[in-house]
Amino acid sequence: MKRKTTLILGMLLGLMAVTAEAQCVQGIRPGQEWPDRKGEHINAHGGGLMFEDGKYYWYGENRPERGFTTEVGVEVYSSTDLVNWTDEGVALAVSEEAGSPIERGCIMERPKVIHNPRTGKYIMLFHLELKGKGYAAARVGFAESDSPVGPFRFIRSLRPNAGKWPVGFSRRDIRRAAKLKEADYKEWWTPAWRKAVTEGLLLARDVPGGQMSRDMTVYVDEDGKAYHIFSAEENLTLNLAELTDDYLDYTGRFVRIAPGGQNEAPTLFKRNGVYWMITSGCTGWAPNEARMFRAKSLWGPWEQLPSPFEGKDAEKSFHTQGTYIFKINGTEDGFVFMADRWNPASLKNSRHVWLPILFREDGTPVIRWVDEWHPQGE
């Protein structure tokens, strides 16, 4: 009798497991819970996407129910339709070793993975803050793997471009910047302070040890060159820095974008020979109005345009902050804006907001709200 009950119970549980495994989502519902194949809300925040061999890989911050530090690492999910995602587990795990730069309790944010065709390796860059130091470390972490789903091996963390000055900075610019001292500009946002920041007050301060590196994305251009775009200079100025051919270091060539403009959450894409960058302002976890920039060359000049968001709550970017832009495989123009609707009371439960990017006749991107949509790719 007991055996029979156990058997029936076992069959029932098996059936439930199959049903759970087969969980299917019909479309992308921005701002709603997004269950993975097991029915769990996708825990990959501040994420990025990579497409390879018919599969999409979504990397993001595995965030705890409560608190702000990284207890697990970077999570990776896979999908063939961009709607239904399988949790492939932890791509880069925190370290249990005391003193490791990625020790459990550090902060790993905005991971992005790119495949290097020359070396065959998958390279992950992420914003790293050291355990117990808040957001003071402002470093970038590098990790690599032989497989898109990991495990990734942590290589090192650093502040980019130590000893280097931006492309286009003349000897005169360098001499002028090197003379600027923070002690002379204690009060922020005055005209004199703004001028000094633009001329390189904080840039020059950080040249010896490398530039601060917080919110970030990675962009690979059509020629295979990769770039790391990040918030530097106390989040006041964006840097766009060229990576070496193995994507594991910097060539030393970089430009500053919008000095003193306080941009976070950079996202970048190219369409019809024009580079577009959508960023956010700098208000912690609270949403703000997105910004947009355009350039004919990654090296600039970058021209600032109004926010691409249109409609109700556009001035708060629909209560989101961008994290990545990708193109749906097999489409001409199927660009998707990936964003987070942060929930600081429970970062794990922050919602994902993915919206298709529309284009005006003159090519300017527009983002409008949709309750539900269905990506059409190959």
- Contact residues for ligand DGJ, defined by CB under 6 A: 46, 109-110, 215, 264-265, 284-285, 321
Residue found by looking up tokens 């709200």 in the block: 369
The residue nearest ligand DGJ at its CB is: 284
Q: Kindly tell me which of 78 and 279 has the beta carbon lying closer to ligand DGJ.
A: 279
Alpha-carbon gap, residue 189 to 230, rounded angstroms: 22
User: Please, what is the minimum distance in Å from the beta carbon of residue 143 to ligand DGJ?
Assistant: 18
**Shortest distance in whole angstroms from residue 45 CB to ligand DGJ:** 8
- Residue placing its CB nearer to ligand DGJ in the complex, 161 or 235: 235
- Cα angle for residues 366, 367, 371 (degrees, 5° grid): 145
Phi, then psi, of 156 in degrees rounded to 5: -170, 170
Please enumerate in sequence order all residues whose Cβ is within 8 A of that of 55, keeping only pairs 6 or more positions apart, or say none: 78, 79, 80, 148
Please give the helix or strand (H or E) that residue 56 lies within, else none: strand 55-62
What is the rounded distance in angstroms from the CA atom of residue 215 to the CA atom of residue 213?
Answer: 7
Q: How far is the CB of 46 from ligand DGJ (least distance, A)?
A: 5
Closer to ligand DGJ by CB, 78 or 213: give it.
213
Q: With contact defined as beta carbons under 8 Å apart, do 157 and 111 qualify?
A: no
Query: Least distance in Å: CB of 210 to ligand DGJ?
Result: 19
Peptide bond into 287 cis (omega under 30): no
In terms of CB distance, is 145 or 217 closer to ligand DGJ?
Answer: 217
- Comparing CB distances to ligand DGJ, the nearer of 224 and 284 is 284
> Shortest approach of ligand DGJ to residue 213 CB, angstroms?
12
Is 290 in contact with 307 (CB distance < 8 Å)? Answer: yes
